Structure 1
Amino acid sequence: MVQTTISDNMRAIAAAQGPVFAAGTDYPAGVAIPAHRHDRHQLLHALSGVLTVATEAGRWIVPPEHALWLPAGCVHSVDMLSAVRMRSVYVRPDEAATWDTPRVLGMTPLVRALVVEAVAMMGHPSEGPRDHLIAELLLAEIPRLPEQPLALPLPADPRLLRLCRAFIAAPDARANLDDWADRAGMSRRSLTRHFRQDTGLTLEQWRQQACVFAALPRLIDGDRVTSVALDLGYDSPAAFTTMFRRMLGQTPRAYARR
């Protein structure tokens, strides 16, 4: 049934004619949408639940109150970390001067409401100006959404890529720069310069975000904050909580309750 819904959505998006097309689907936890692409830009929003999106360039995590911008032609796959109520807006490329790379965005109440209305109007189009005004306002408001630090871009350098993939498989907050430099066969200065050029992040920022990626599925499943923090190599739950609040604006316990 889920696979049929995905196929139906793909056909509807491809057949859409207007500048904005919207679609909404609810998915159970654990559903994986295989790699695919759209000819339109996509603003992917989860009304509830948490999902991750993977591309060749990296990974992005999309919690509630956030959205992911995917430029037209970007090949991506989607994994539902929990039950997800997904709502997406697909924008014709010639209608939007926005971003040419994926990025996580903070949703405003206005854009959230517009996305919900855009999905509703697809099932009940009107003859009046309202549908057109909703689409126009979406096109005006999407570029104003603030970027959020929930991306995990991957470096192009094969030495750094190998280290990053190993860290994703076994995150450890205690990993140090000298160890990474030795394993990459680089100096500390060269490693930090290449890493920032490739990812746009410092190594420390990247590792913190990788730890958040590793923690969220466990917190959603009900694991204790203390267990998650210690397994990720943090000296104490308080140190982990400080990092988590800085990244997501709330404590791990508050996030898990939501």
Structure 2
Amino acid sequence: MKNVSVDNVDHVDRAVLPIGTDYASGQVLDWHRHRRAQFLYGATGVMVVDTPEGTWTVPPERAVLIPATARHRVRMLGVSTRSLYIEPDAVPWWPATCMVVDVPPLLRELLLAAVEFEADYSLSGREGCVVALLLHEIAARTPLPFHVAIPAAPDLAALCRAYLAAPDAGVTNAAWAARTAMSERAFTRRFRTETGESPAVWRTRARLLAAVPLLRTASVTEVSGHLGYASPAALTAAFTRAFGMPPSRFTTSHRDGGPGADRHA
């Protein structure tokens, strides 16, 4: 199925409903929830998924697992998706929070095939086998570290969401502490309790996540300057430490097979 609202087919007696959807660049799917769990794959572009608990950045050709009934918002940046909406009882192993995962070639091809099915596809033969194999492949995925936690406390959450919207290398713990009328030491302790990370470590990861959508249209050099890194090499080193791959993997030239692209990635 293509460009169909899940609400229009949610009643169909199938544990898995595959749907492909094309979105305008910059389109935001405001806060909502689905009765079913969702496997959301971005065949193109970058997605940013917010929940009250955190923010997940989904690079090109990756996917995010969204739990059933989880309240979330998605910002689409040049995205064409291939989604699976799955009855919770069919996936008791589904994670309790969102999770970004890699999508290897077999899983990608299965998704591309499945979105051509009708809502009431046959459970026997090829279509049923494709859907069954999809669930096996998704169950084998492991999480990628493309997320930051959002504190439950409203004042800390506001600081974090504002920083995600406009990362600034010049922000300090002292500045954040002043905005919450706390000492720097007390603020840092409270922030670590809420997120599991120090404010400085959290901001570093948030800045690196901000690089992912920027790399759609800008070079590593341009992105490093925009985010306040001393050099492209500094951004590359920090990005590779955090995510296990260099930022050049997400540039348009790499995906198009241009100069420097790793054709075997």
- Fold shared per TM-score above 0.5: yes
Q: What are the Cα deviations for residues 192-238 of structure 1, in whole angstroms up to 9, with x where unaligned?
A: 5543443344534422331133223332223x433432332222221
1:94 CA drift (Å)? 0.9
Q: What are the Cα deviations for residues 115-159 of structure 1, in whole angstroms up to 9, with x where unaligned?
A: 223222336934733322222222333232110111132101234
Name the counterpart of 2:258: none
> What is the TM-score when the length of structure 2 is the normalising length?
0.81
1:206 aligns with 2:202: yes
Equivalent residues of 1:14, 1:38 under 8 A apart? no
Matches within 5 A, 1:1-258: 8-82=4-78, 84-97=79-92, 98-122=94-118, 125-126=121-122, 128-181=124-177, 183-184=179-180, 185-186=182-183, 188=185, 191-222=187-218, 224-256=219-251, 257=253, 258=255
Gap change, CA 1:173 and 1:80, over 3 Å in 2: same
Which secondary structure state, in structure 2, belongs to the residue aligned with residue 122 of structure 1? coil
Runs of at least 5 residues in structure 1 that lack an aligned partner in the other structure: none
Q: Give the aligned length.
A: 250
1:96 CA drift (Å)? 0.8
**Greater CA drift, 14-23 or 112-121:** 112-121
Gap change, CA 1:127 and 1:157, over 3 Å in 2: closer
CA distance in 1, matches of 2:123, 2:39: 25
1:47 CA drift (Å)? 1.3
CA distance in 2, matches of 1:205, 1:16: 46
Which secondary structure state, in structure 2, belongs to the residue aligned with residue 81 of structure 1? strand
Gap change, CA 1:200 and 1:72, over 3 Å in 2: farther
Q: What are the Cα deviations for residues 155-180 of structure 1, in whole angstroms up to 9, with x where unaligned?
A: 01234223323422432335444554
Q: What's the Cα RMSD here?
A: 2.7
CA distance in 1, matches of 2:10, 2:155: 39
Identical columns (%): 39
CA distance in 1, matches of 2:141, 2:190: 29
Equivalent residues of 2:36, 2:69 under 8 A apart? yes
Equivalent residues of 1:23, 1:122 under 8 A apart? no
Name the counterpart of 2:262: none
1:46 CA drift (Å)? 0.8
Letter in 2 for 1:92: E
Runs of at least 5 residues in structure 2 that lack an aligned partner in the other structure: 256-265
> What is the TM-score when the length of structure 1 is the normalising length?
0.82
